[in-house]
Chain A
Amino acid sequence: MKAVNLIPPSQRQPSGGLPNRSGGVAYVVLGGVACIGGLAALYGLAEREVASKEGEAVKLEAQARALQARASGLAAYKAFIALRQQRETEILSLINSRFNWAHLLAELSADLPRGATVTNVSGTIGGPSNGSGSSGGAPKGGAVGSSTPPGSLPSLALSGCAPSGGGLPKVLSRLRLIEGVRTVELKSGTKTGGTSSTSTAGCASGEYSFSITVSFSPMPTPPTAAKAVVVPGAGAPRQPTALPKGGVAKPHNVSLTRKGGKEGSR
Chain B
Amino acid sequence: MSARDRLVVALVLLVLVVVVGWIEFVSPERSKVSTAKQKVAAAQAAVSQAQGELAQAESAEARYSEAYAAVIALGKAVPASQEVPALLYELEAAFEHHRVNLVSISAGNGTSSTTTPATSAAREGGFQQLPFTFNFEGTYTDLYHLLQRLQEFAVFEPNGTVVVKGRLLTIDSLNLVPAAQSGAAGKGKRGVLSGTITATAYVLPTGQTLTEGATPAGPRPLPAGSGSSGVSGLPATIKGLP
Quick check: is A32 within 8 A (CB to CB) of the other chain? Answer: yes
Q: Which residues of B contact A137 (CB under 8 A)?
A: 109, 172-173
Per-residue B-contact encoding for A46-82, CB less than 8 Å = 1, 0 else: 1101100110110011011101101101111111111
Quick check: is A186 within 8 A (CB to CB) of the other chain? Answer: no
Task: Give the shortest distance, in Å, between B59 (CB) and chain A (any CB).
Answer: 8
Quick check: is B94 within 8 A (CB to CB) of the other chain? Answer: no
Could you tell me the distance between the alpha carbons of A31 and B151 in the complex, rounded to whole angstroms? 93
A85-B231, A91-B162 given; A242·B11 CB < 8 A? no
Q: Which residues of A contact B193 (CB under 8 A)?
A: 255-256
Task: Please state if B233 and A225 are interface contacts (CB–CB under 8 Å).
Answer: yes
Task: Please state if A226 and B50 are interface contacts (CB–CB under 8 Å).
Answer: no
Number of residues on chain A facing chain B (CB within 8 A): 105
A24-B3, A64-B47 given; A231·B159 CB < 8 A? yes
Task: Please state if A85 and B234 are interface contacts (CB–CB under 8 Å).
Answer: yes
Q: Which of A230-248 contact B (CB under 8 A)?
A: 230-233, 242-245, 248
A67-B53, A71-B57, A263-B190 given; A145·B36 CB < 8 A? no
Quick check: is A208 within 8 A (CB to CB) of the other chain? Answer: no
Quick check: is A39 within 8 A (CB to CB) of the other chain? Answer: yes
Could you tell me the distance between the alpha carbons of A265 and B180 in the complex, rounded to whole angstroms? 16
Could you tell me the distance between the alpha carbons of A56 and B220 in the complex, rounded to whole angstroms? 37
Task: Please state if B32 and A50 are interface contacts (CB–CB under 8 Å).
Answer: yes
Task: Give the shortest distance, in Å, between B121 (CB) and chain A (any CB).
Answer: 7
Task: Please state if A64 and B50 are interface contacts (CB–CB under 8 Å).
Answer: yes
CB nearest neighbor in B for A59: B43
Q: Which residues of B contact A141 (CB under 8 A)?
A: 122-123
Number of residues on chain B facing chain A (CB within 8 A): 111
Q: Which residues of B contact A172 (CB under 8 A)?
A: none
Task: Give the shortest distance, in Å, between B35 (CB) and chain A (any CB).
Answer: 8
Could you tell me the distance between the alpha carbons of A98 and B148 in the complex, rounded to whole angstroms? 12
Per-residue A-contact encoding for B4-41, CB less than 8 Å = 1, 0 else: 10110011011001100110011001101100110110
Q: State which of B4, B67, B170 has its C-beta within 8 Å of the C-beta of A147.
A: B170
Quick check: is A144 within 8 A (CB to CB) of the other chain? Answer: yes
Could you tell me the distance between the alpha carbons of A254 and B229 in the complex, rounded to whole angstroms? 53
Q: Which residues of B contact A63 (CB under 8 A)?
A: 47, 50
Task: Give the shortest distance, in Å, between A50 (CB) and chain B (any CB).
Answer: 5
Could you tell me the distance between the alpha carbons of A253 and B175 in the complex, rounded to whole angstroms? 19
Task: Please state if B175 and A121 are interface contacts (CB–CB under 8 Å).
Answer: yes
Task: Please state if B64 and A81 are interface contacts (CB–CB under 8 Å).
Answer: yes
A82-B228, A229-B236 given; A255·B70 CB < 8 A? no
Quick check: is B85 within 8 A (CB to CB) of the other chain? Answer: no
Could you tell me the distance between the alpha carbons of A250 and B172 in the complex, rounded to whole angstroms? 22
Quick check: is A187 within 8 A (CB to CB) of the other chain? Answer: no
Interface centre among A74, A96, A144 (most CB of B within 10 A): A74
Q: Which residues of A contact B14 (CB under 8 A)?
A: 28, 31-32, 35
Q: Which residues of A contact B175 (CB under 8 A)?
A: 120-123
A28-B7, A145-B122, A263-B191 given; A120·B177 CB < 8 A? yes
Knowing that A76-B221, A122-B176, A228-B160 are A-B contacts, what are 8 other residue pairs whose CB atoms are under 8 Å apart, sorted by A's residue number? A36-B18, A60-B40, A138-B172, A226-B235, A229-B235, A256-B177, A256-B193, A261-B190
- Closest 9 A/B residue pairs (Cβ): A23-B3, A145-B122, A145-B126, A53-B36, A60-B43, A74-B57, A67-B50, A46-B29, A102-B147
